[in-house]
């Protein structure tokens, strides 16, 4: 159910214009040239660097930092883009605190890692600000590929294929390309329309035709794509939202957090976006944190994240949990909702205390309630629109190797495919690797 300014308890314009600007400013402002040089000087340039092993896209991190240290940020950017064409976005949204920076030797020795993410942004922004596109497309091969889903996996795959001379048609169900980067990430992590700007920059390679408002299974059929293209890559993400099956889950004021974040990202005026005075977010992943923090930044008086397991089991990193706490968001662990109470609108959420038992939360018999005029559900997403005939692995498309599905000439990657973590950087790696495999297949090379 969508937010409505007429829903009791929800109200737009809770803050002044200056407060909205301050609250939704860049979470990690870019480094100046001097700051980048100082940050780069802290790198030990390790042999067999653990940060590289921790990076899902295998960026040569010591190499690009050395290039920044030497005053060559544009060269550093190419070291990044050669492995991760969406390195600009990943620099902003990657959980570096649990990936490369957690593995950093400086982190182990001093508790303060090299600022790899901010250095990566410094390098990639340098090239993107310069205009143009740094790669030259190979000669046309005469082969065409359909890429369904213009999110991180689809974009990375499209660029890799176009760079090798194949013609790519990129389809997306939404009005704008970008997928999660455009619709699903907290606004303060990617300011100034960066997601859209990055897509436009990426497509500067040439050879990619974008068609929006084309949804697989409705206006787009896999059989037709296979007839008109030599190969198909599916990067359709997880469009379904898991339902909360408790009494009162259909009350006004109960919304899914994914839609809330998307509405916020597309809002032309944040002051027009209604938010509750008392907000409860159910879930423990990044979506829960992004929804909770942005609710607080929109002016909610009280925001509480409630997660059914212990805090150490939350999908959101400790850094993200601490960020939420620093913005005034409360976190209650070991509790799961059993009912939402209200006379026509959400007024209270009833929770049962839980304890982890044999890997699953078990109720203790104790219950409590939290007042809420807006309840956001961030309890996971599911696959929708997978074509018939595709083998599934649980709730995702089953893949082997570099994204090969059970159907000939069909690859898949990103959140919709089995295997890696549901992270932007992992999706980029899977799209990149699938492009390489598709190219080999189209070129008649052995895989």
pLDDT tens per residue, range 173-222: 999 999 999 999 999 999 999 999 999 999 999 999 999 999 999 999 99
- 12: pLDDT confidence band, cut at 50, 70 and 90? very high
The answer to whether residue 9 scores a pLDDT higher than 90 is no
Model confidence over 117-166: pLDDT tens digits?
999 999 999 999 998 999 999 999 999 999 999 999 999 999 999 999 99
Q: What is the pLDDT of residue 2?
A: 47
Model confidence over 66-103: pLDDT tens digits?
999 999 999 999 999 999 999 999 999 999 999 999 99
The answer to whether residue 362 scores a pLDDT higher than 90 is no
The answer to whether residue 359 scores a pLDDT higher than 70 is no
Model confidence over 266-289: pLDDT tens digits?
999 999 999 999 999 999 999 999
Q: What is the mean pLDDT of the chain?
A: 94
**3-state SS string over the chain?**
CCCCCCCCCEECCCCCHHHHHHHCCCCCCCCCHHHHHHHHCCCCCCCCCHHHHHCCCCCCHHHHHHHHHCCCHHHHHHHHHCCCCCHHHHHHHCCHHHCHHHHCHHHHHHCCCCCHHHHHHHHHHHHHHCCCCCCCCCCCCCCEEEEECCCHHHHHHHHHHHHCCCEEEEECCCCCCCCHHHHCCCHHHCCCCHHHHHHHHHHHHCCEEEECCCCECCCECHHHHHHHCCEEEECCCCCEECCCCCECCCCCCEEEHHHHHHHHHHCCCHHHCCEECEEEEECCCHHHHHHHHHHHHCCCCEEEEECCCCHHHCCCCHHHHHHHHHCCEEEECCEEEEEEECCCCCCEEEEEEEEEECCEEEEEEEEEEEECCEEEECCCEECCCCCCCCCEECCEECCECCCECCCCCEEECHHHECCCCCCHHHHHHHHHHHHHHHHHHHCCCCC
Model confidence over 25-69: pLDDT tens digits?
999 999 999 999 999 999 999 999 999 999 999 999 999 999 999
Question: Would the pTM of this model clear 0.85, i.e. be above it?
Answer: yes
Question: All domains of the chain, ordered by start, with CATH?
Answer: 33-129 (1.10.1060.10), 144-239+383-442 (3.50.50.60), 241-377 (3.50.50.60)
Q: What is the pLDDT of residue 364?
A: 86
Pair type for strands 329-332 and 302-306: parallel
- 421: pLDDT confidence band, cut at 50, 70 and 90? confident
- 5: pLDDT confidence band, cut at 50, 70 and 90? very low
Q: What is the pLDDT of residue 446?
A: 59
Q: What is the pLDDT of residue 326?
A: 97
Q: What is the pLDDT of residue 385?
A: 85
- 361: pLDDT confidence band, cut at 50, 70 and 90? confident
């Amino acid at each position: 159910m969508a937010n409505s300014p007429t829903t009791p308890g929800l109200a737009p314009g809770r803050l002044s214009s200056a407060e909205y600007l301050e609250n939704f400013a860049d979470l990690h402002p870019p480094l100046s040239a001097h700051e980048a040089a100082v940050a780069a000087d802290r790198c030990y340039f390790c042999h067999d660097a653990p940060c590289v092993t921790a990076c899902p896209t295998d960026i040569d991190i010591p190499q690009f930092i050395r290039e920044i240290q030497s005053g060559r940020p544009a060269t550093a950017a190419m070291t990044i883009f050669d492995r991760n064409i969406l390195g600009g976005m990943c620099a902003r949204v990657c959980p570096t605190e649990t990936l490369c920076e957690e593995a950093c030797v400086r982190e182990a020795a001093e508790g303060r890692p090299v600022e790899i993410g901010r250095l990566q942004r410094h390098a990639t922004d340098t090239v993107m600000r310069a205009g143009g596109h740094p790669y030259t497309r190979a000669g046309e091969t005469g082969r065409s590929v359909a890429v369904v889903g213009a999110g991180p996996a689809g974009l990375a795959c499209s660029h890799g294929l176009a760079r090798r001379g194949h013609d790519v048609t990129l389809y997306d169900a939404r009005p704008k390309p970008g997928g999660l980067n455009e619709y699903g990430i907290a606004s303060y992590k990617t300011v100034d329309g960066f997601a859209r700007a990055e897509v436009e920059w990426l497509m500067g390679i040439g050879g990619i035709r974008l068609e929006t408002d084309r949804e697989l299974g409705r206006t787009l059929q896999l059989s037709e794509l296979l007839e008109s293209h030599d190969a198909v890559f599916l990067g359709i993400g997880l469009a379904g939202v898991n339902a909360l099956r408790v009494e009162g889950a259909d009350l006004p004021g109960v919304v899914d957090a994914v839609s809330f974040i998307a509405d916020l990202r597309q809002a032309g005026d944040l002051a027009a976006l209604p938010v509750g005075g008392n907000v409860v977010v159910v879930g423990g992943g990044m979506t829960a944190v992004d929804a909770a923090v942005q609710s607080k930044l929109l002016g909610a008086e009280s925001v509480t994240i409630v997660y059914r397991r212990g805090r150490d089991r939350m999908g959101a990193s400790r850094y993200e949990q601490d960020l939420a706490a620093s913005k005034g968001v409360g976190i209650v662990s070991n509790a799961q909702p059993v009912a939402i109470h209200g006379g026509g609108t959400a007024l209270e959420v009833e929770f049962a205390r839980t304890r982890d038992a044999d890997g699953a939360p078990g109720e203790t018999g104790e219950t409590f309630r939290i007042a809420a005029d807006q309840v956001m559900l961030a309890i996971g997403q599911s696959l929708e629109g997978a074509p018939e005939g595709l083998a599934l692995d649980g709730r995702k498309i089953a893949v082997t190797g570099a994204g090969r599905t059970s159907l000939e000439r069909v690859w898949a990657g990103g959140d919709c495919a089995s295997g890696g973590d549901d992270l932007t950087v992992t999706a980029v790696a899977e799209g990149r690797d699938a492009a390489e495999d598709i190219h080999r297949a189209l070129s008649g090379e052995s895989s």
